[in-house]
Amino acid sequence: MKLATWNVNSVRIRAGLVADFLAREQPDLLLMQEIKCEDGQFPGEPFKDLGYHAAIVGQKSYNGVAVLSREPVEVRHRALPDQEHDGHARYIEVSFRDLTIGNLYLPNGNSGGDDGYRAKISWMENLRRHAAAMLDAEQDFILAGDYNVCPTDADFAKGALGADDALVRPETRAAFNALIWLGLTDAVRALHPNDPLYTFWDYQAGAWQRDRGLRIDHALLSPRVAERLVAVDIARAERDKPQPSDHVPVVVSIMD
């Protein structure tokens, strides 16, 4: 089973690149974030032509998440539990075969002052609570997407972020570690413990050319799923394409 997660930064602008990626990689599931459109504006046809179904939680202009799948999936949640009323389209959860798949776009936390940052931490605590509930229910799951967290100093290029950036603050990392310490596995770090690996490069200041990137897109696996992990790939080549997203796909392969 092959799953990819990709913050596409507008699915309407990027529909061609996404279709090319699907045709080449043929993932069973593609989790997209920042689709930046309402459900009715979603460009489903190029994906349908490649045999993909779409489950969409959109909103006008900002945020928005969607799951493309080669098999029909059942939508379990259209918002993170306890986070339903914030008006942000940031979570969709589906059942795929024996797995529960959560696709998330976590708040950045740098805008909106203290309230904005508190909202990020609160979102992370709700995610931890939901993950704990799924573990209690003995569900096997993957929680993947744009976490907007650099878990350690190895996860961003020197000089790419300030020490008090919401992506690296101690409280942010503590909230991420609280997820890990439930027993979840960071798929990329499980197979590549030491490499500098990035999934995002800013459009500004030549960040891509200078490899000043961040690792903020993650796939966290519940214990029995982690035992089935066989490969991960960060599709860096997507960042070199014409009119790219600032994020690239993270691809995770799990034994069936």
Partner DNA sequence: ATGACATTCAGCGAATGA
Stretch touching DNA by CB under 7 A, among 24-32, 43-51, 55-63, 92-100:
55-63
Contact string (CB under 7 A) for DNA, positions 191-220, x = contact: ---------x-xxxx--------x-x----
DSSP letters, 5-28, are: EEE-S-HHHHHHHHHHHHHHH--S
Contact between 36 and DNA per CB under 7 A: yes
CB of 81 to DNA, least distance (A): 21
Number of residues lying near DNA (CB under 7 A): 28
Query: Nearer to DNA by C-beta: 10 or 139?
Result: 10
> Taking the complex as a whole, how short is the minimal distance between the CB of residue 229 and DNA, in angstroms?
25
Measure Cα distances from 128 to 37, 183, 240 in Å: 28, 11, 35
CA distances from 12 to 33, 36, 92, 238 (A): 12, 8, 19, 16
DSSP string of 188-256? Answer: HHHH-SSS---SEE-SSTTTTTTT-EE--EEEEE-HHHHTTEEEEEE-GGGGGSSS--SB--EEEEE--
- Can you tell me which of 45, 48, 49, 61 binds DNA, judged by CB under 7 A? 61
Binding mask 94-133 for DNA (x = CB under 7 A): -------------xx-xxx---------------------
* 10/26 with CB nearer DNA: 10
